[in-house]
Amino acid sequence: MTMVARSIPREAGLEPLATSRSRRAARASVLVVVLWITAGLTALVLYFAASMGLELRASANRAADLAAGQAIEGAARYVGWALASFATNGMMTTNSQFVCESLPIGDSRVWVLGRNPAASETGLNQVVFQLLDESAKLNLNRANSNALSMLPGMTTELAAAIVDWRSTNGILQLGYSSFGYDAKRGPFETVDELRLVQGITLDHLYGDDRNLNGILDVGEPSLTGSLFSTPGLLDTTTVFSREPNFHADGTLLTNVNTRAQIQSLLESAFGTGRSREILTRLGFTQNQGGGGGGAAANPNFPSLLRFYLSSGLSQDDFERIAPELCVTTNAYTYGRVNLNTASATVLSALFVGSGLSQQAAEGAASTLVRYRDQNPLGLNSIAWMVAALGRDHQAVTTLAGRDLLTTRSFQYGADLVAVGPLGRGYRRVRLVFDISDGVPKIIHRQDLSRLGWALGDRVRQQIADQNGVQALAQTPGPNSGPK
């Protein structure tokens, strides 16, 4: 009997089991592929989104950095305006006359970073904001080796090397050939040039204040064990201090060693009768047989301090004419130190360089600093030094023999620190302004951004609070300074 297999028609919707499984497997494979593609596309979307976020943040940081840079330029113009408006007759401007802290420029803020020479006396290890007086420092091209050797970290050998570097006929045989250059045999152009002098290290230049903000930050170990920073040569020396012997309009000051000039000034200030008395005390006399129009026998006053001691004038009377006086026919006088702004360290070094013993110099400097802190309104001429120490004090009689002191300044350092919008972006530029010709001019510019954050923890927290963040984590720290 023949068996005939019955075929199941496809129209009935029934298939062989193997075929059904094959189709389900194919559909599952397609689903897996689709899922992988979806995951890949999702990853690409997330990658590009993160990339765009980073680009956006980088762009914002770059814009903030540019804004901080432009804020520096705006602050430079502001400082120039302040000096032109308030630095009259070479008298140092005060913070009450213009803004030095958190100056708003656009969406940025700028600080004029100063120094606190009395930090150890006040017990405050905090940054201060003010202009820096270049005449408060020793002039590298004028100070002798005795004065230089008294600065922190210095020795007599290093001081001699500095003088030898600038001397046109240096006598020290120092081995610069091993460094690939020779001694300059000419004046210093910047204080940073000291790094080329044999034996001078970064410790001598910076002291323990590696970011040059006047305080000991975290990560800046003290060189002396003190709680306060020890300044280096960058903070105690300069090459820019000079004082004009003419007015802003170009007319010359009165030379105290010329009878006709000083007589005219005294008569104008005190009248003819008293003028004659003062001239007599000063030692001005007419030559015998010269009559009233005879040639004058003039004394020689090496300094305005000597002139004041010889004149018999009171401090108030001397202050009336002091801005009009000079002791030379030269257009400028270089290297004077400002009694009103110099630190005790600089004054002590200057006095030792003038011939005082270290003990006498330090005692006189300490007395002067205390006196000016207690009498801030009586510092209008060098006559206050006599009031503080006495006419017969060794420092007074010694300094009277040399033209080393002043109470006027015509070069100002502006250490400008800017933070951009939203606390992002950081720039720091040090400028030196010269107003000796009557108009503020920038004569030196140096970018110090590489030294890292310089505004201290208090300002850092203020900026963070203002912008609603916990900390400025991306702000460079003090350890990013020179090594």
Contact 478, 472 (CB under 8 A): no
pLDDT for 469 equals 55
Q: Which of 73, 85, 72, 80 is nearest to 111 (CA)?
A: 72
Contact 211, 451 (CB under 8 A): yes
Residue 22 CA to residue 25 CA, distance in Å, equals 5
pLDDT for 108 equals 95
Q: Which of 213, 209, 199, 215 is nearest to 232 (CA)?
A: 209
What does the pLDDT look like over 430-441, one tens digit per residue?
999 999 988 999
pLDDT > 60? residue 80 = yes
Mean pLDDT lowest among 82-96, 418-432, 453-467:
82-96
In this prediction, residues 49-70 reach a mean pLDDT of 87
CA angle 279, 280, 281 (to 5 degrees): 90
pLDDT band at 77 (very low <50, low <70, confident <90, very high): very high
Q: Please name the residues in contact with 301: beta carbons below 8 A apart, sequence gap of 6 or more.
A: 256, 257, 282, 307, 310, 327
Please give the torsion angle defined by the CA atoms of residues 135, 138, 140 and 145, in that order, rounded to the nearest 10 degrees.
160
Q: What is the largest CA-CA distance in the chain?
A: 176
Contact 275, 267 (CB under 8 A): yes
Quick one: DSSP state of residue 416?
E
The proportion of the chain whose per-residue pLDDT surpasses 90, expressed as a percent, equals 62
pLDDT > 70? residue 10 = no
pLDDT band at 11 (very low <50, low <70, confident <90, very high): low
What global pTM score does this model have? Answer: 0.84
Q: Please name the residues in contact with 234: beta carbons below 8 A apart, sequence gap of 6 or more.
A: 191, 192, 205, 206, 212
CA angle 135, 347, 410 (to 5 degrees): 10
Q: Which of 54-63, 79-88, 325-334 has the highest mean pLDDT?
A: 325-334
Residue 153 CA to residue 139 CA, distance in Å, equals 17
pLDDT > 60? residue 3 = no
Residue 303 CA to residue 256 CA, distance in Å, equals 9
What does the pLDDT look like over 16-35, one tens digit per residue?
667 777 777 777 888 888 88
Residue 408 CA to residue 90 CA, distance in Å, equals 5
In this prediction, residues 170-191 reach a mean pLDDT of 87
Q: Please name the residues in contact with 477: beta carbons below 8 A apart, sequence gap of 6 or more.
A: 217, 218, 219, 452, 453
pLDDT for 224 equals 81
Phi, psi dihedrals of residue 429, rounded to the nearest 5°: -135, 130
Length of the chain: 483
Mean pLDDT lowest among 116-125, 364-373, 386-395:
116-125
* Cα distances (angstroms) measured from residue 465 to each of 242, 397, 470: 43, 55, 7
In terms of DSSP H, where are the helices of 237-303? 259-270, 272-282
pLDDT band at 92 (very low <50, low <70, confident <90, very high): confident
Residue 416 CA to residue 427 CA, distance in Å, equals 8
Phi, psi dihedrals of residue 361, rounded to the nearest 5°: -65, -45
Q: Which residue has the higher pLDDT, 9 or 185?
A: 185
The residue type found at 116 is: N
pLDDT > 80? residue 345 = yes
pLDDT band at 293 (very low <50, low <70, confident <90, very high): very low
In terms of DSSP H, where are the helices of 291-340? 304-311, 315-321
Q: Which residue has the higher pLDDT, 145 or 228?
A: 145
Count of helix runs (H) and strand runs (E) in the chain: 15, 16
Q: Which residue has the higher pLDDT, 326 or 7?
A: 326
What does the pLDDT look like over 369-419, one tens digit per residue?
999 999 998 899 999 999 999 999 999 999 999 999 999 999 999 999 999
413 alpha-carbon distance from chain centroid: 5
pLDDT for 13 equals 52
Mean pLDDT lowest among 4-13, 236-245, 349-358, 425-434:
4-13
Q: Which residue has the higher pLDDT, 311 or 225?
A: 311
Q: Which of 377, 390, 248 is nearest to 324 (CA)?
A: 248
Give, for 398, the enclosing helix (H) or strand (E): helix 394-399
Is 228 buried (19+), middle (13-18) or exposed (0-12) by CB count in 10 A? buried
pLDDT for 52 equals 85
